[in-house]
Structure 1
Amino acid sequence: MAIDFIDLKAQQARLRPQIDSAIAAVLDHGQYILGPEVKQFESELARFGQAEHVLGCANGTDALLLPMMAWEMPRGAAVFCPSFTYCATVEVIALLGGVPIYVDIDRDTYNMCPDGLSKAIEGVKAEGKYTPWGVITVDLFGQSADYDRLAPIAREHGLKLIADSAQAFGTTLNGKQPLDYADVATTSFFPAKPLGCYGDGGAVLTNNAEHLRIMRSVHMHGSGRDKYDNVRVGLNSRLDSIQAAILLQKLSIFEEEITLRNKIAQRYIDGLKSNTLRVPSVLKGVISTWAQFTIEVPDPDSFGAAMREKGIPTARYYPKPVHKQTAYQDHPIGAGGLANTEDAMTKVIALPMHPYLDEDTQDMIIETAKSTL
């Protein structure tokens, strides 16, 4: 029996008639770019995400770029971010001429460590080489960062706070979405995300109408009132109508899928606890969307190879954090160091996770993982 690491086919089978109908409606009206589905999706996503405004865009990377461009982030500004993440979080800072300052993670949740952030900010201020400007947190593996502690630190130092929820849209902390704590929240609709489309897509969530207005200009080549008078440098970053139509159908069952993901995650946690295998920790008050189910084992490469031999796929996030990657290895490491990041990278490996993982298959994964160890 073939096991999918993320089974997109099961969800598609459930929604196929609705998705086919939604795509057909776009083909019928022919408004392939910024059609009515985009506006409807932005409205419904805002409602789900407890946001006043949503701007759909081309991908999750652009979702990070848009607010930073709208704020006109100065070149050379220091932006604090984790290294234990996908490169896009750091990439956008470098693209705009900023200086990524790497901050360590909390060893239990893999999200940005508040104490590490404080040390990194104080270190940059003491050195005086760069001007602190912003913080990009990452809600890694589906779990909200510790915004109760991180947000006050950003406010104390007058820094913009961007919640990168590309892996975790739908996560909450004490019933609040990341946007409740941040200046903006962003997400990705890459197909493998908990809420994914069938191509590329992304969105920015904001409660600031003026910021939304500028971002809308930026995402349309810096457009102004006159079609041929662009008033700022911008991007071509629009969410197309077909992807919005697909996402509308997926959003209709997203809350139920989050519940299913949590049920599956709890079965994993209950079944895998052992002295040689570490299961994920969830911060008190957090509901995770479980984009990945990441465990820790002494030798993840050997463990993964053994699991694959038995027909069970695994994936490693992230064996080489961003600060060790060729394009980004020269950026500064914050004053607190990256001890937790460098420890976690040697142990993490992810097991299959999606809302349609049946109990028999999951039990087989659990028993195989335990016997492999």
Structure 2
Amino acid sequence: MIKIYLDLNHKLNEKAQKNICKFINFFVDGLKEAISQEDEDDYYEIVFPRFIVRKNKELCKNVIMDLYDWSKDSYTHTLKPLYEYAFFYILNYCREIDEDIYKERKESLFSMKYDLKDDVDDLELEIDTFSFYEAYCFLDIDFLDVSAMYELYKKSPLLVDYMNVELDDYIDLMPYDIAYEYKQRKKYYDEEIKKLKEQTMEKDKHPTVFISYSWDSDEHRRWVLRLASTLREKGVNAIVDQVEIQQETLNLNSMMLKNMQKSDFILVIMTENYAYRANNEIGGVGFETNSLVNYTRENISKIIPVLKGNSDKSIPFYLKGISYIDLSNEKNFRDNFKNLLYRIYKQDMIKLSTIGEKPNFKTEKIEPFDI
């Protein structure tokens, strides 16, 4: 039996399967005659793309004979796209011949009905129409649009996935050069998607922060390294130029830009020297400032100012008025570092209760004087 995508009772299903058997038998009888006349190629091309017939005639024969056998057994066979394609065009072939005969003789070769109204709502009558099989023997007709789906895949594999289309199922309906091209593209896309998923998982697990600071003194640089080390101990991928440049020769400006773009957050360590260099566009801090000024306009939530020096003199012009984390005082360092972690992990420190029902207000009506 060929699967029908409609819930039919046993009697109606049996009737429908008999009709399916008629269609396939008719095509197979024609194939046998074509083989005897050595004209089978043209006959196969009625229901298969020409490139399949030319390259793999044996496959065509096997598909037709599988359909022939399946239409006669008691198992329900769900057709793969190549089989759907062949069966669709077998139906189409039978319909064209039957309609021609009906127009001439007013009789149907397959006992099909042609005088039903379009809005007929009787399954027993519908089963004797070609429209019934075209509508319910196929879950969809994507097998007719493989070339269009592949062109869409080349533009956006994710869009094809979103459409819930798996092109692997349609590879038998692709010319061999296109099938090879698709396999190569799919291998590349799958590797890229895998990398992206791994990066996303790693990113979700360990948020990345780039620390921007000025080299004020050895003591200050060591403090920055200790901050980075403490963050890393708490699961944050903290990036510092001092560590980056010891691993390889780098263009510092390029390294700064790259890390600013790929990081989840940018920690700006504000000191008096940092503010002076930022405000006057001096050195590496000046270069970063030019980048950050434009960057903060669209990515302000990614900037986390961290105060290390005097609050009056350490805040550069482009960070004025923006809330900061104060790590300048050892007494409240622990609590404020905790605030920093909550910010980096995007966790709420305070949670209000859910909004309840509106209170039932009572209004006192004031009666006028009785005059």
TM-score, normalised by the number of residues in structure 2? 0.21
Larger Rg over CA atoms = 2
Name the one with the larger strand percent. Answer: 1
Higher percent of residues as helix: 2
Per the normalisation by structure 1, the TM-score is 0.21
Which structure's relative contact order is higher, taking Cα pairs within 8 Å and 6+ residues apart? Answer: 1
